[in-house]
Amino acid sequence: MTLRQLEVFLAIARVRTFRRAAEALHTSQPALSQHIRELEQELGTRLLDRLGRSVALTDAGRLLEEHAHRVFATLTSAREVIGELQGLKRGSLLIGASTTPGIYVLPGVIGVFRERYAGIDLSLRIANSRLIEERIRANELDLGVVGGHGLGPREECLAAGLVDELVLVAAPAHRWARRREIAPAQLAGEPLLMREEGSATRRVTERALEQAAVKYRAAMELDHTEAIKQAVIAGLGVAFVSVHAVRGEVSTGRLRALRLRGLRIRRHFHVIHNEARRLSPGARAFMELLEEAGRSRRRSPAPAG
């Protein structure tokens, strides 16, 4: 059994097709099939069930997937421990973030990090919260920064001081544009634009409105915060968006921010990582900068529309 065979197996297990796994690994499908045949022959059991163009893990495959993740987590930890001999002078750090922190919060933090630790190669991957959580579990990221997070198997949530608030935004020509707040009952008659399934912003919004018994009408689903903002500006409806995402538009008058009377929707941005992995010095340094950014932002008021 080789590390390459395990790498191929995990790639297929993650995407459930040989074609997409081959694309991710930059190799051919026949090469992947050969690795899987050799692995199944060595273990004496079938690991994958072929279902047309897709595959499914057998019981043996699911067991191997769990152990393979542990193998690669252990190897990564070994590299990081050895890398600590260089302190914070060398190394790499791969951060994953959901849309709001990834676009509107982390770039400034990354800039400071690179100034302080120029020898560490830091990369950022942005996707919705669900995908970031999946990549943490698959040991593909060192840290993940997400909002409204619920812990899954082998994940550990590390405290972060970044606090977010979701505000209701409307176009400048909207009848609510000159108001600072509206009665919750008024939301039911207005088209509400929502993020896609898997978005933490959507989860937090739906949970807060349902807990407060606020009725709403989801009129359109969009898969990016920038698309939501442009749709609101175009008069297609209103939306709940992070204050971090609309500071520029509110300050220039392109959007108006308001709240529901008696309801403030707040959340923390959480830093998560795979508990099977040991935090590197670079990861710990990055978390310290996040805490600094959180303290700074708490002193800055939310934009008023």
DSSP string for 139-181: T--SEEEEES----TTEEEE----EEEEEEEE-TTSTTTT-SE
Structure confidence by residue, pLDDT tens digits, 69-79: 988 888 887 77
Torsion of CA 73, 79, 83, 89, to 10 degrees: -70
pTM: 0.62
* Other Cβ atoms closer than 10 A to 219: 15
Structure tokens at 113: 């990090």
> What is the reported pLDDT for 126?
93
| Residue-range domains of the chain with CATH | 3-81 (1.10.10.10), 89-162+268-298 (3.40.190.10), 163-267 (3.40.190.10)
Confidence at residue 155, expressed as pLDDT on a 0 to 100 scale: 59
For 43, the token pair is 């273990």
Please state whether 186 falls in left (phi above 0), alpha (psi between -120 and 50) or beta. alpha
Q: Which residues of the chain have pLDDT under 50?
A: 301
